Amino acid sequence: MDKRRTNRPITAILIAIISLTPSLTWMKAAAEPSPDQQATITRIHERKERVKQLCQAGKFEDALPLAEQNAADAKESVGVKQPLCADALMTLADIQIRLGDYSKAEPICNEATSIRKETIGTHTPVYINSLKKLIWLDAKLENYQLAVASCEELTELRKQMVGTKHPDYAESLNDLGGLFAAMHEFAKAKPLFEQALAIRKQVIGAKSPEYATSLNNLAGVYAQQGQYAKAESLCQEALSVRKEILGTHDPAYLQNLDNLAQLYDATGENEKGKIIREEVLAIHNQISAQVPATGTLSR
């Protein structure tokens, strides 16, 4: 596997999959188990409830050994080619994600996704969610070739399931473009970002966070290709949309300002970049001033 670390781009490429927050998946029993299987499944469900409680309390380290035991018991009781086993594995992967151990979570998630593909099929929400999580993990680990292959599969599935004029399809195009951008393959990223932008404008509207993200992503590609005038225009438009719908204190708006400052640095317009950074600092100071000693925002 060719893993390549990339330098920070002139303007940040916001990859939607990186902001994806995996949700815990809870297990379902297999149909018509044998008496021995039912006894094991009963123990799995009892343990599962404890795992759920611990996770809801944020005690993921305590939940981990219970989830590991559940995965082992599911494999032994019903076999690896059953939805019960896939669900147990995915719960274990989710906990590893919460603990930040992505290298352990990835092969577990991969196994669970493969089982679901074989047992419930590809045109199902459960499989789609598994595939999204696997893409997210491979991107975090910079396994970009693996992530691209899975994202291309996801894009084609969504095309078949919801059509090309749908926010989910646009999201997959954007994610695929983000992966190519992370690999510095900007010629491949650009048309994907352009497609996502057009769909989002038509389906979601120009006054939406998703549309602003697409503007920012495309601006990043133009900046990397040295087309600074086009990059600035798109970045300014994204900034305007985010200011209107999210406000000036939103992290996405502040990131957009930083992107614009980097763009001006690249074009030698250092004074403009300096002014923007001063604006960012002033906003951060305003935000800090609103936080009392208790750490909660004043109302």
- 280 is a domain residue: no
Of the chain, the percentage scoring pLDDT greater than 70 comes to: 86
CA angle 276, 218, 136 (to 5 degrees): 100
What does the pLDDT read at residue 291? 62
Residue by residue, DSSP assigns 54-68 as HHHTT-HHHHHHHHH
Confidence of residue 12 (pLDDT cuts 50, 70, 90): very low
| CATH number of the domain residue 119 falls in | 1.25.40.10
- 56 is a domain residue: yes
Cβ partners under 8 Å of residue 299, min gap 6: none
- 113 is a domain residue: yes
- 20 is a domain residue: yes
What does the pLDDT read at residue 7? 41
Q: What average pLDDT does the structure give for the chain?
A: 87
What does the pLDDT read at residue 292? 60
Task: Please classify residue 69 by burial: count the beta carbons closer than 10 Å to its beta carbon, then call 0-12 exposed, 13-18 middle and 19+ buried.
Answer: middle
Asked if pLDDT for residue 81 goes beyond 90, the answer is no
CB 22 within 8 A of CB 102: no
Between the alpha carbon of residue 259 and those of residues 129, 141, 264, 273, the distances in Å are 31, 24, 9, 10
8-state DSSP, 28 = -
- 238 is a domain residue: no
- 25 is a domain residue: yes
Cβ partners under 8 Å of residue 155, min gap 6: 169, 172, 173, 176
30-53 tens-digit pLDDT: 456 678 888 888 999 899 999 999
C-alpha–C-alpha distance, residues 59 and 251, integer Å: 28
Instruction: Give the range of the structural domain holding residue 69, as residue numbers without chain letter.
Output: 7-30+39-127
Using left for φ > 0, alpha for ψ between -120 and 50, and beta otherwise, residue 226 falls in left
Instruction: Count up the domains in the chain and report the number.
Output: 1
| 251 vs 78 pLDDT, higher one | 251
C-alpha–C-alpha distance, residues 112 and 109, integer Å: 5
Residue by residue, DSSP assigns 169-209 as HHHHHHHHHHHHHHTT-HHHHHHHHHHHHHHHHHHT-SSSH
Residue 74, CB half-sphere, CA atoms under 13 Å: how many?
Answer: 30
Asked if pLDDT for residue 24 goes beyond 90, the answer is no
84-129 tens-digit pLDDT: 899 999 999 999 999 999 999 999 999 999 999 999 999 999 999 9
Closest to 224 (Cα-Cα) out of 275, 268, 266, 177: 266
- 69 is a domain residue: yes
Cβ partners under 8 Å of residue 278, min gap 6: none
- 2 is a domain residue: no
Cβ partners under 8 Å of residue 159, min gap 6: 169
Instruction: Give me the amino acid identity at 276.
Output: I
Confidence of residue 28 (pLDDT cuts 50, 70, 90): very low
Q: Write down the pTM of the prediction.
A: 0.82
Asked if pLDDT for residue 169 goes beyond 60, the answer is yes
What does the pLDDT read at residue 135? 98
Helices 125-140 and 102-119: angle between axes, nearest 10 degrees: 150
| 235 vs 45 pLDDT, higher one | 235
What does the pLDDT read at residue 55? 95
236-261 tens-digit pLDDT: 999 999 999 999 999 999 999 999 99
* Measured distance between the N- and C-terminal CA atoms of the chain, rounded to whole angstroms: 51
